[in-house]
Amino acid sequence: MADPLYYIIKNIFDSIPGLIITKAKLEYGFLLASTGIFLLALIYGIFGTKSKVPLFSLLSSIFIWLSLFYVVADELSGNGIDEAVFFHLNYGLTGAGFSEYMPLLALTVFLFIASLFVPYMIIGKLGKLTKASGKKFTWVAYILVIIAFVYHPTSRSFYQHFNRPIYQAHSNLEKPHSVVNKSAITDFDQFYRNPNMLETSNKKLNLIYIYAEGFERTYFNQKTFPNLIKELAELEQMSHSFTNIRQAANTSWTIAGMVASQCGIPLITPGGILNANSITNIDLFLPGATCIGDFLSRKGYDLSFVNATSLKFAGVGKFYRTHGFKEVIGKEELQEIVTSKSGKYDWGIDDDELFKFAYKRLSKLKQPFAFFTLTTGTHSPGRISKKCSQVYADGNNRMLNAVKCSDKTIAAFVRKVLQSKYAKNTVIVIASDHLAMGHHIVKDLTANKLRTSVRRNLFLVIAPKIEPKKITREGTTLDIASTLLDYLGYDSQVGLGRSLVSKEKSLLSYDRHGWYQRIKSFWNLPKLSPNDVISINKKSSSIAFNDRSFNYPLLLVINKDKKADILFKSLTARKDGNGIIVRRLSRLQDQPFIWVDKCKSIRPAFLKLYNDDCVMYGKSGVKDVIFAQVKGVVNISVNDIINKEKF
């Protein structure tokens, strides 16, 4: 949902010469305002009645927690509590590196612990020094508390997240286009396209796709960042440079950017914020979607993906394995291959080592091939390869130093390919996976020098026999796969994307209110009938049914509708997963379920089987559910779970 209050305030301040208000500044303004209102509420509360000291102490602690959450999220994302934050709240951070943020996290933990008792000490002491002034003060305090919480940026972010359209084609720093023909957007399948196999050329070209982490087009702005980008700017002069690629909603973090640019759909996941499905434990990643990898695989391409970080992070490895890639290599494999200790770090390997390996890997692929890779140097807060001796300007901005380094390493790899035997029949793409993240760099990107605060994704295409030019046509990362197929010799569209070198217009101006469930359906979560059998395998820690397999612990809930949909709930990415399962079960009303987990999680008091695997199944709210130990392979029929009752 667009924030109307933001645009009202922005329009007011935009009329003042030399003054710019960004969304980040507005949210911190709300944080300061809500803090002031809350402090005023405490004053009224303390004067109102001493008996409310524990209540206002608790409210103070909660307010501090909300503020800490917002500040930390903004420091990591550079955009407050955005879609990326909600995604990782759902699916965990397995495979992510946090060593760079340890001081921030340590300070956050300290403040969190302090907030548990310091507010009570301070408010309690102030309460003893004041006299109660009556209920009027107390009621004023309650009203002010409500206002403070409602306008807190954390509250606003959660409200906007659960009340926004699925897809808005605009940067988070500018007003979106008006909705075009909204009444016509009723049939998802009218707009969604599966790639056809129509060829426009007999020659099959190779594809090399470089995802430059958060390397947005704004870095090329010489007025804002003079002499920052030199090497890639030269390569741009021999490319088709798409200068107006917006960032759509649900595409603003790495795996979402990959899904958008390869499948032409925003990343809508199967679980919500309170019932998170773990992408790590789901066996297939969007198997119902047809992506560029699926298309090229059918055309005989040899597909390879090399990732400098863990393939477990956000389900990246599963995404590529699901969609036609035969070779998927990540940090775990690369750290065994890379011999240079200076090129390794806790999250992965440096970009120069990545590209060294990548070039060698090209010779192992059969032509035609499609090779995809992702850099990490420009991931916030920025990592500089040991081989990069130059810094940017005075060298005080770590991220801009990393950008300058990536400019050099990416360009060196591309030039090496252009001088190789692959040059005459290879399309090379250099593109950002999403706009830059991280509080400090976003602050630079939206500095007062950028009067319009407009940011765009990078998308360069270097292909044989093209005339270099800049293409200003508006689009989003959803349009990239469709556009690439044009360069590869196919007349095809992918998902909701449209080729930016064709006559069809991008769907960037449309709202997607009604398409949420349809996009979620691409996960192809299995359905059960009463005669199906669920098989639990202790050795592989998995549960299988209908030719699908999922790792446990998990909770399966069989819906009451005739289709008997299965809601898969895998919570290993969360340390509090057991509590979430219990809360989920408590909300169910007479619904069949099966819970597979450690015995200590299901029944903590059952000490005999404390560390073994157990299963509990039956109907929610019914006392006589079945609880048993998992030994070897356990088969349970759906009829047993639902007590042989019809759906």
Q: How much is the mean pLDDT over the chain?
A: 79
Contact 45, 124 (CB under 8 A): no
Kindly list the structural domains of the chain, giving each domain's residue range(s) and its CATH number in brackets, ordered by start. Answer: 4-162 (no CATH), 194-520 (3.40.720.10), 525-641 (no CATH)
439-488 pLDDT, tens digit per residue, is: 556 666 655 444 445 789 999 999 999 999 999 999 999 999 999 999 99
In this prediction, residue 317 carries a pLDDT of 93
User: How does residue 14 score in pLDDT terms, banded at 50, 70 and 90?
Assistant: low
pLDDT at 416: 96
pLDDT greater at residue 584 or residue 40: 40
The Cα–Cα gap between 95 and 88 comes to 12
The pTM assigned to this predicted structure is 0.77
What is the rounded CA–CA span in Å between residue 7 and residue 575?
Answer: 39
Q: Which of 565, 543, 538 is nearest to 636 (CA)?
A: 543
Q: Of 368, 345, 346, 369, which is closest to residue 358 (Cα–Cα)?
A: 369
- 64 Cβ neighbours under 8 A, 6+ residues apart: 111, 112, 115, 119
The tens digit of pLDDT for each residue in 120-153 reads 777 766 666 555 555 666 778 888 888 988 888 8
Which pLDDT value is given to residue 575? 45
Q: Is the pLDDT of residue 396 over 80?
A: yes
H or E segment and range at residue 630: none
Residue 265 has pLDDT above 90, yes or no: yes
133-142, 208-217, 397-406, range with the lowest pLDDT: 133-142
The answer to whether 496 and 509 are in contact (CB under 8 A) is no
Q: How high is the pLDDT of residue 50?
A: 57
Q: Look-up: residue for tokens 């773990």?
A: 278
Tokens of 418: 């252009």
166-187 pLDDT tens trace: 444 443 434 433 333 444 345 7
Residue 252: name the closest of 437, 430, 58, 4 by CA: 437
Backbone angles phi and psi of 593, in degrees to 5: -150, 165
Instruction: Give the rounded percent of residues in the chain with a pLDDT score beyond 90.
Output: 32
pLDDT of residue 532: 87
- Output the DSSP codes for 566-588: EEEEE-TT-TTHHHHHHHHHHH-
CA distance 551 to 544: 9
- How many C-beta atoms surround the C-beta of residue 390 within 10 A? 11
Q: Examine the pLDDT at 379 and tell me if it is beyond 70.
A: yes
CA–CA distances in Å: residue 565 to residues 548, 555, 568: 14, 13, 10
Q: Which residue has the tokens 């093209």?
A: 466
372's CB contacts (< 8 A; 6+ apart) are 209, 211, 303, 304, 305, 306, 320, 325
Identify which has the larger pLDDT, 76 or 633.
Answer: 633
**Do the beta carbons of residue 77 and residue 84 sit within 8 Å?**
yes
Counting every residue written for the chain, the total comes to: 647
For 527, other C-beta atoms within 10 Å of its C-beta total: 14
Amino acid at 503: K
Q: What is the mean pLDDT of residues 338-366?
A: 82
Between the two ends of the chain, the Cα-to-Cα distance in Å is 37
Which band of pLDDT confidence, cut at 50, 70 and 90, is reported for residue 520?
confident
Q: What confidence category does residue 73 fall into, taking pLDDT thresholds of 50, 70 and 90?
A: confident
* pLDDT (0 to 100) of residue 525: 77
